[in-house]
Structure 1
Amino acid sequence: MSKQDEVIVVGKFGASYGIRGWLKVVSFTDQPESIFDYKPWLIQVKGEWVEFSVESWKRHKGLVCKLKGLDVREEAQTYTNLEIAVKADVLPELSEDEFYWRELFGMEVVTTKGYALGVVDDIFETGSNDVLVVKANLKDAFGKKERLIPFIDEQVIKLIDREAQRIEVDWDPGF
């Protein structure tokens, strides 16, 4: 799938808000309000991604928005828990040393000594740093099923090679 066709989930709808078709929005972006910078929104309706435009939005105990053409509470309620996505090509370009999490999923993780730890299966935030969840290889010599590796640039993460789909880490494979 090309970047032009790739769909990235950036949030989801919460409950309806008020009687005029407004919805609560749960943003997955670093700055929650920046979800409204990405246009158009794609919402999966009956298995198909459909474009929607945000008519208005505001902060109210979180974020709420009004989609164009969605004018009544009952209709808005059918959007509760639906994902909000955008095409990947509307996301800002990053510098060579910056990465979107989605780029890291599936990358092979190896130690600086060449031991294959597995592949990136998930990533989560801890407050102090992000953590890679690395699904270990089936025949891992240390009997590990997964490893949690802190994403600390230069100290733990030594190299990320987009082309080779490989992350080199300074990490004890037995840990």
Structure 2
Amino acid sequence: MTRRVMLGVVIGAQGIRGEVKVKAFTAEPEAIGDYGPLQDARGERRFDLTVRRWVKGDVVTAAIAGVSDRNAAEALKGTELYVSRDALPEAEDGEFYYADLVGLTAVTPAGAVLGSVVAVHNFGAGDMLEVKPESGKSVMVPFIDDAVPEVDLAGGRLLVDPAFWLGDEGRGGGRGEDREVEE
């Protein structure tokens, strides 16, 4: 099965000629149309998207082939737009697509399995990996070098420092005495 990556979502109609507003999840919002035809979540519909202009933030207006009036544009509101993972360029060293991280097994440096990455979130302060153990609640791990020192996409795993999983007990320090704080 071909993996797909969501690049955006239609958030509403723009004007009376069938243009739509799209919230883009690409590094440059205007680039959402550069990846070729997009598909809906089920892969049943194809969308040939032409970006008309950047609105603000991560929103652009776009024309979709075959959509020529406001009613047709409004009917697309909420439609998630996907592309095949193969259509995306390779990530730079040290950079990863969220879609490539989901499903990796989180392990300690000693090889103990902590769980699987079920999602990647960004609540504004940086990327967080949601790791779900075999039983129990998910744990959020900051996706930073100190917490996740190694990502092995080919091997299907990533290393997680136990201190970020178990708190101070994982370090054995109890109160974090081994941490330095600059003032």
Local SS of the residue matching 2:44: strand
Post-superposition offset of 1:73: 0.8
| 1:146 and 2:153 aligned | no
* Contact 1:157–1:169, Cα closer than 8 Å, also in 2: yes
The 2-side partners of 1:129 and 1:76 are apart by 34
CA distance in 2, matches of 1:90, 1:32: 17
1:51-72 per-position Cα deviation (integer Å, ceiling 9, x unaligned): 2222441123531111122111
Match of 1:141 in 2: none
Query: How many corresponding residue pairs?
Result: 164
One-letter amino acid of the counterpart of residue 161, structure 1: D
Residues 41, 84 of structure 1: 8 Å contact kept: yes
Conserved 8 A contact 2:120-2:130: yes
SS in 2 for 1:10: strand
- Distance in 1 between residues matched to 2:3 and 2:87, nearest whole Å: 10
- Corresponding residue for residue 64 of structure 1: 61
Match of 2:152 among 126, 151, 161: 161
Of stretches 53-62 and 75-84 in structure 1, the one that deviates more from structure 2 is 53-62
How much identity, in percent, do the aligned residues show? Answer: 32
Q: Offset at 1:36?
A: 2.1
- 2:48 is matched with which residue: 33, 48, 53? 53
Higher helix share: 2
Q: Cα RMSD over matched residues?
A: 2.0
Cα distance in 1 for partners of 2:60, 2:105 equals 37
Within a 5 Å distance, the mapping from 1:1-175 to structure 2 comes to 1=1, 5-43=2-40, 48-61=43-56, 62-95=59-92, 97-138=94-135, 145-153=137-145, 155-172=146-163, 173-175=165-167
Query: Relative CO higher for 1 or 2, CA cutoff 8 Å, sep ≥ 6?
Result: 1
Provide the rounded CA distance (Å) in 2 between the counterparts of 1:120 and 1:152. Answer: 15
Q: Aligned to 1:157, what secondary structure does the other structure show?
A: coil
1:48 Cα deviation from its structure 2 partner? 4.7
Q: Which segments of 5 or more consecutive residues in structure 2 lack a partner in the other structure?
A: 168-183
CA contact (8 A) 1:137 1:145 kept: no
Give the SS at the match of 1:49.
Answer: coil
Q: What is the TM-score when the length of structure 2 is the normalising length?
A: 0.79
Whole-angstrom CA distance in 1 between matches of 2:70 and 2:13:
6
Amino acid of the structure 2 residue aligned with 1:147 = V
**Change in 2 beyond 3 A, CA 1:9/1:128:** same
